[in-house]
A = this chain, B = another copy of it.
Amino acid sequence: MPRKLTFAQAVREAMAEEMRRDPAVFLMGEDVGGAGGVFKVTVGLLEEFGPERVRDTPIAEAGFMGLAVGAALTGMRPIVEIMFGDFITLAMDQIVNQACKLRYMSGGQARVPLTIRTTLGAGRSSAAQHSQSLHAWFAHIPGIKVAIPSTPADAKGLLKSAIRDDNVCIVFEDKMMYRLEGDVPDGDLPIPFGQADVKRPGEDVTLIATSSMVHVALKAAELLQKENISAEVIDPRTLVPLDREALVQSVRKTGRALIIDEGHQKYGVTAELAAVIQEEAFDDLDAPVARLGAADVPVPFSTALEFETIPNEARIIAAVKATWGPDGKKR
């Protein structure tokens, strides 16, 4: 029986269930305990699991990420919350030089079952230091798996997989989605990494979208349908590992692809997906793979400017139509 949960509730359930299942799992981060997190995602966990396992840290991102690495190396399974994705810049050495590399550098001796949860996404007038979507950086680095769920159900299932994984995993949660509701199936149902999900089937064009951009793509697809363009919307769900096959198959069918992601466009996630698709579906492409990332500017504060930087339905529709060329014909 599926229940309606918000994205935040789904994330919380994943953590609570895994903490009940395995005493090695614990959570640390700034204000995750008494306050229940600034986005109220962790409300109630302190009450159930106590302050040892739901640990309020000092404001010291590098330090507590480092502690988590050491704890993971020695038998624990930490979940670390980095409140705003922007603050992860302070912990890059710990994640990239330590956590992601210890297993490899030790020739397979070390195990680092560390899960990092953090946010991405603009749209809250939080300005340039509280709105970044830095997931592309992590997808670039070997030794870390990257999830970027778009629905409460995916958020729960992927986070459960991340916590059970013996490797470093990072899950990006769009802070604009925490109140989004969706059906979440009952029961213990981890979603494996590396499986894309077709969020809407279609025939004429493939929209590959991540995180909250999935919903924007779905709305655009509805509008396109009115113009008799049938768009398939696929959500890769994890960037690493990437379900290349699912993406490529869809594009082989439709002949057209647009990638939508909220990270900056240049040197970002849209580039890799476009490169993969043109590599593997070249002969089936009727137009270049198009992409739509966030504008290549810091995220501005003013509501008059901020939304200019984020992909929206209108831009998706325009980009899709452009794949047919100005005359509406196959290019």
Contact = CB atoms under 8 A, between A and B. Distances in A.
A125 to B, nearest CB: 13
Interface stretch (A14-22, A89-97, A196-204): A89-97
B272 A269 contact: no
Given A92-B89, A129-B97, A275-B271, A298 B105 contact: yes
A93 B89 contact: yes
B89 A96 contact: yes
A183 interface: no
A140 B97 contact: no
Given A275-B278, A282-B288, 11 more contacts: A62-B90, A141-B264, A142-B298, A239-B267, A266-B272, A267-B269, A270-B275, A274-B278, A282-B287, A282-B331, A283-B331
A296 interface: yes
Contacts of A157: none
A297 interface: yes
A168 B173 CA distance: 30
27 contacts: A89-B93, A97-B129, A104-B298, A105-B129, A136-B140, A136-B267, A137-B137, A137-B140, A139-B266, A140-B266, A140-B267, A239-B267, A266-B272, A271-B271, A271-B274, A274-B275, A274-B279, A275-B291, A278-B278, A278-B288, A278-B289, A279-B288, A279-B290, A279-B291, A282-B285, A282-B288, A282-B331
B267 A272 contact: yes
A60 interface: no
Nearest to A264: B140
Most buried by B among A270, A271, A274, A289: A271
**Interface size class of chain A, counting residues whose CB lies under 8 Å from the partner chain:** 35 or more
Contacts of A331: 282-283
Q: How many copies does the complex hold?
A: 2
A28 to B, nearest CB: 19
A54 to B, nearest CB: 26
A270 B128 CA distance: 27
Contacts of A136: 140, 267
A33 interface: no
A16 B275 CA distance: 41
Contact of A140 (B62, B128, B263): B263
A301 B89 CA distance: 27
A143 interface: yes
Interface string A97-134: 10011001100000000000000000000011100000
A86 interface: yes
B141 A128 contact: no
Most buried by B among A242, A269, A290, A298: A298
